Structure 1
């Protein structure tokens, strides 16, 4: 993973001390909240319903054991003993006192972490495939380009005050696990005639007006990528709406301008760049960044493991877990392990300080010092030898981290909702827990198969409800919470926005409605291998809408 150089370290230390002075002036009353707000947002600090929340950047979702241990320490010393991992591959602490945040940032700086660009109208944390560098189906590792984009975008003077927040994602696998088509810019790495480049998608997003991104370029060579991104950003900065924050995202600009006209504007801006304006990105610098992401030296192993096979026969719980939570590795004899943060009765994405310490230990002992945060609010140990998987499972199980549900119906994306967020209209966490309880039988979950439920507590869509196979949106109706159901969304290479099934349901009616929907899916699926989204795309809305409201 990338290591700070002397300039990175100094910039982060200086930023901490600058913010320490700003916090002191706020606490003394020297500056008011309206004056402090833009300063705190530039340092990842939000004011939520009950306390300040600190959002910490985890670039492209990668953590070292040392960093994970420091997050555990912060949870223990400054919060209430846990942290919340997010869909942006970051971590949030919901109960840190404002007076302590400069100390927290100083502790983070010691392990090469910060909270810069985790909020505000800037380019946010660049995200990627959580299996990057390990995935059997990727053509190359996309993380070096995420790092190059991070370095280019951090403190870029032209993009520090954009019309609205801006999100970029990069993938290099044919199966899109980075949701690039619902990002402001989505980059898909390609090879063409021996040259590396990027397929560029622009204008995706969720929120009030969800859009699937338009493909703006089939292929931009890697040597031209930053210039091309700069052209996109300049078009957005020039023409993006600043008079209405609900129409300020680049998705609105692409939609209202039209794909062809927007593409033309970008190409004209790109062509107009003079030589002295272009970004000098020599191959030597690309190679230097790539060297930070050299794969770990994995000792050669047979493709199969006798110890692994014996354990699956002897331990039914382990066998069930392996069927759900392992992902193919590009090296024989290894696998990527998903650490589920979705046990029954726990808010999705939450991990205690003790659990973080366990994951750090496992990464250090068995996982070549590598930990990832996923878009679905889980963790991944990407490089585990098959011989070691059973011991990893036993330690995860003892820590409450071995729920066998990756990608299954209880592995939901759930935003904090009205329990924490002052923007929310309804609670998300209790509804998610009730659904988990309704589908708590692991054999039942396995029979249902891949099934993505995403829950948001408001239209801002932090729970990504628009792209859930089943999306659930909390709405307020005259002071009472209701939940609108959407069906057919997906965030992968076949990205689609879910269709509204009908009027909202009361919270207590949601689990039973989903039970009926799942039963209908089982009746209609062509085989046990056909997933819900495949059945929905074949059958359409009507047979599922009918059963959702059968009990109304």
Structure 2
């Protein structure tokens, strides 16, 4: 992992001190609400439906065990509202039929950040001081700037990776932080990078998507896409360069952003994302970027060209850890015991199949801890769970973990001999669900239970579907399905890219839900990135699980098999089309709700 130097540490401590001063001036009236708002947002503090929300940056998803323990401490000591605030929130939720609003929790987001939903602003400065002790902060987690740069959660360890994207992500993180050109863009701006053939970072859905590749001469560079995004207008990124030498990636992004800054709309936030500009201008935008890039390189001398020495300096922080002393051979008897345990214990065998992936080092494995289980919202982690995960990370993964954009935690450095012990330890804390890539491994935003922007709640719908599908045999029979739920059109739950997407909408003050089918994030299992299509009018909340069940039953009736391989859900949807799924889902509506 990258280690902050003394300058970095001093900067974060000074930033925390500045924020403390700003809070004190706001509290005593020397700083108006309008003046304070951009200052808190620049440090990751929002005001949500019931209470403030803090978003903590986790650059390219990497967390140390020390950082996990501090996040646990924040959850335990600070993530609890004043009593009158919580009582009012509970009363509001009772009227909607739910009263489950957990406190003392962290929430992993689809941007691999960490959020807290209940910290009072009166305690915000103490929290920022505490985070700074482990090199964490909320800078660039909000506002119209370049946000947290995300990566493939298997970066540096995946067998299908040609080059590690993390050094480039770190160099770009340092470059974009507080860069004046990137601080006041027309709208927020997101970058994703992968070095693998399987696009686990969903790069085509980002404002800038970068995929490392080699050209015909064996030179390393990037495929660059621009203008992807979800929200009100889902768009897949446009390829601007099939190959760009890695040394010039920051010069090229500077050109992309300069043109966006010049022509992007600032009069209408719904039309301000770069995807709107790229879609509207087409080749003209591409030509403008190429000319700007030429000027930066030829006229300005390419000031952001990455030297080989800088890449090597940063890459030195991402070498594999010393997870086993040299010459320490695997314990054959212990490995035999693990195989015997898998034969005797179906739950362990399922977990090995679902949650354990191959590593580029044959002696190691990549293990996913699932935060998707009954009575736990997707992505939520209690303070106790965070502490236990930190212990697991120290014991089994060289002190390092990764947050995934599917709201789970990955341990990237697990020895085969430790798999049984890890499974037993994870099971004791409720993080051994063998459901990775299955229906209940769903993505869901906090929705209307917490977010002031949401039209409907996401979490009760996620809970109802999870409760209905608790039989692992049934889930395995259905196979891999990406289910994504968003509480509003802002798409924080990535519903557009779900094989099944659920979107909360408002109808005359009531919660309703649109269902989409056929979306993809661009991974190998899903095919090329594309948005799903709506299958008819909205469903009421209690109809959604029935509609999903009808859709899945239609898949089971239509899927084909070829030898041992069964057609996946997304393959069947694309082969037979939406009509049979639409008819099955719409059949669950009552006459009164159809007329609505």
TM-score class, shorter: over 0.9
Other-structure match for 2:532: 498
Kept in 2: contact 1:188–1:198 (CA 8 A)? yes
User: Which of 369, 372, 375 does residue 339 from structure 1 map onto?
Assistant: 369
Q: TM-score, normalised by structure 2?
A: 0.91
| 2:225 is the alignment partner of 1:201 | yes
2: CA distance, partners of 1:10 / 1:276: 32
Helix, strand or coil for the counterpart of 1:496?
coil
Helix, strand or coil for the counterpart of 1:424?
coil
| 2:29 is the alignment partner of 1:29 | yes
Q: TM-score, normalised by structure 1?
A: 0.98
Other-structure match for 2:155: 132
Other-structure match for 2:311: 286
Q: 1:127 to 1:265 in 2, by over 3 A?
A: same
Structure 1 window deviating more from structure 2 (440-449 vs 55-64): it is 440-449
Kept in 1: contact 2:248–2:305 (CA 8 A)? no
Q: 1:517 to 1:66 in 2, by over 3 A?
A: same
1: CA distance, partners of 2:302 / 2:246: 17
Structure 1 window deviating more from structure 2 (436-445 vs 273-282): it is 273-282
| 2:297 is the alignment partner of 1:263 | no
For residues 63-116 of structure 1, give each alpha carbon's deviation from its aligned partner in whole angstroms, at most 9, with x where no partner exists. 011110111111111113210010000100111110111111111111111110
2: CA distance, partners of 1:429 / 1:28: 37
User: Which of 463, 467, 476 does residue 433 from structure 1 map onto?
Assistant: 463
Kept in 2: contact 1:339–1:379 (CA 8 A)? yes
Kept in 2: contact 1:301–1:333 (CA 8 A)? no
Q: How does 1:52-67 map to 2 (within 5 A)?
A: 52-67=52-67
Other-structure match for 1:485: 515
Other-structure match for 2:75: 75
| 2:191 is the alignment partner of 1:168 | yes
Unmatched segments (≥5 aa) in structure 1: none
Q: How does 1:79-94 map to 2 (within 5 A)?
A: 79=79, 80-94=103-117
| 2:48 is the alignment partner of 1:51 | no
Helix, strand or coil for the counterpart of 1:281?
coil
2: CA distance, partners of 1:241 / 1:137: 39
Q: How does 1:371-410 map to 2 (within 5 A)?
A: 371-410=401-440
2: CA distance, partners of 1:503 / 1:179: 28
2: CA distance, partners of 1:503 / 1:280: 51
Helix, strand or coil for the counterpart of 2:389?
helix
Offset of residue 303 of structure 1: 12
2: CA distance, partners of 1:346 / 1:353: 13
Offset of residue 280 of structure 1: 4.4
Offset of residue 268 of structure 1: 0.5
For residues 13-52 of structure 1, give each alpha carbon's deviation from its aligned partner in whole angstroms, at most 9, with x where no partner exists. 1111111111111222222322211111000000001110
Other-structure match for 1:518: 552
1: CA distance, partners of 2:305 / 2:558: 56
2: CA distance, partners of 1:20 / 1:529: 58
Unmatched segments (≥5 aa) in structure 2: 80-102, 590-596
For residues 213-250 of structure 1, give each alpha carbon's deviation from its aligned partner in whole angstroms, at most 9, with x where no partner exists. 00110111111111011110101111110111000000
| 2:130 is the alignment partner of 1:104 | no
Helix, strand or coil for the counterpart of 2:402?
strand
Offset of residue 330 of structure 1: 0.8
Other-structure match for 1:296: 321
1: CA distance, partners of 2:551 / 2:544: 11
What do you get for the CA RMSD once the two structures are aligned? Answer: 1.3
Other-structure match for 1:473: 503
User: Which of 575, 578, 583 does residue 538 from structure 1 map onto?
Assistant: 575
Helix, strand or coil for the counterpart of 2:73?
helix
Other-structure match for 1:227: 251
| 2:500 is the alignment partner of 1:457 | no
Other-structure match for 1:184: 207
Q: 1:244 to 1:397 in 2, by over 3 A?
A: same
| 2:359 is the alignment partner of 1:329 | yes
For residues 483-541 of structure 1, give each alpha carbon's deviation from its aligned partner in whole angstroms, at most 9, with x where no partner exists. 00000001125101001111000000011111111111011111253210111111111
Number of corresponding residues: 551
1: CA distance, partners of 2:337 / 2:57: 38
2: CA distance, partners of 1:520 / 1:341: 28
2: CA distance, partners of 1:270 / 1:380: 37
For residues 375-406 of structure 1, give each alpha carbon's deviation from its aligned partner in whole angstroms, at most 9, with x where no partner exists. 00110101111110111111110101111111
User: Which of 258, 264, 267 does residue 243 from structure 1 map onto?
Assistant: 267
Helix, strand or coil for the counterpart of 1:521?
helix
1: CA distance, partners of 2:120 / 2:387: 23
Other-structure match for 1:2: 2
2: CA distance, partners of 1:233 / 1:38: 21
Other-structure match for 1:360: 390
Offset of residue 56 of structure 1: 0.2
User: Which of 575, 583, 586 does residue 549 from structure 1 map onto?
Assistant: 586
Offset of residue 543 of structure 1: 1.2
Kept in 1: contact 2:449–2:459 (CA 8 A)? yes
1: CA distance, partners of 2:330 / 2:272: 54
Kept in 2: contact 1:124–1:168 (CA 8 A)? yes
2: CA distance, partners of 1:495 / 1:282: 33
